[in-house]
Amino acid sequence: MIDDLALRRLVQDWAVWRDAGDWARFAGCWHDDARMMATWFQGPAAQFIEVSKAGFAKGVRILHFLGGTSVDLAGARAIVQTKMTISQRAEVEGVKVDVVCTGRFYDFCEKRDGRWGVVLRQPIYEKDRMDPVDPAATLRLDPALLAEFPEGYRHLAYLQSRIGYKVKRDMPGLAGPEVEALYASGAKWLKGEALDR
Per-residue model confidence (pLDDT) at position 60: 83
What amino acid is encoded at 152 in this protein? G
Whether 45 and 36 have beta carbons less than 8 Å apart is answered as yes
pLDDT digits (tens, 9 = 90+) for 45-97: 999 999 999 988 988 889 999 999 999 999 999 999 999 999 999 999 999 99
pLDDT digits (tens, 9 = 90+) for 126-140: 999 999 999 999 999
| Mean pLDDT of all residues in 106-129 | 98
Long-range contacts of 175-183 (CB under 8 A, 24+ apart): 179/124, 182/106, 182/122, 182/124
> What's the rounded Cα separation, in Å, for the pair 103 and 87?
11
Per-residue model confidence (pLDDT) at position 195: 87
| Mean pLDDT of all residues in 89-110 | 97
Whether 44 and 35 have beta carbons less than 8 Å apart is answered as yes
For residues 172, 174, 177, 180, the Cα torsion angle rounded to the nearest 10 degrees is 90
109 strand-pairing partners:
78, 118
- The total number of residues written for the chain in this structure: 197
CATH class held by domain 2-188: alpha beta
CA 132 from chain centre, in angstroms, equals 23
Per-residue model confidence (pLDDT) at position 197: 60
Per-residue model confidence (pLDDT) at position 159: 96
pLDDT digits (tens, 9 = 90+) for 137-191: 999 999 999 999 999 999 999 999 999 899 999 999 999 999 999 999 999 999 9
Long-range contacts of 174-177 (CB under 8 A, 24+ apart): 174/124, 174/126, 174/127
CA 12 from chain centre, in angstroms, equals 13
Whether 25 and 10 have beta carbons less than 8 Å apart is answered as no
What pairing do the DSSP bridges indicate for beta strands 62-74 and 77-92?
antiparallel
Domain chopping of the chain, boundaries:
2-188
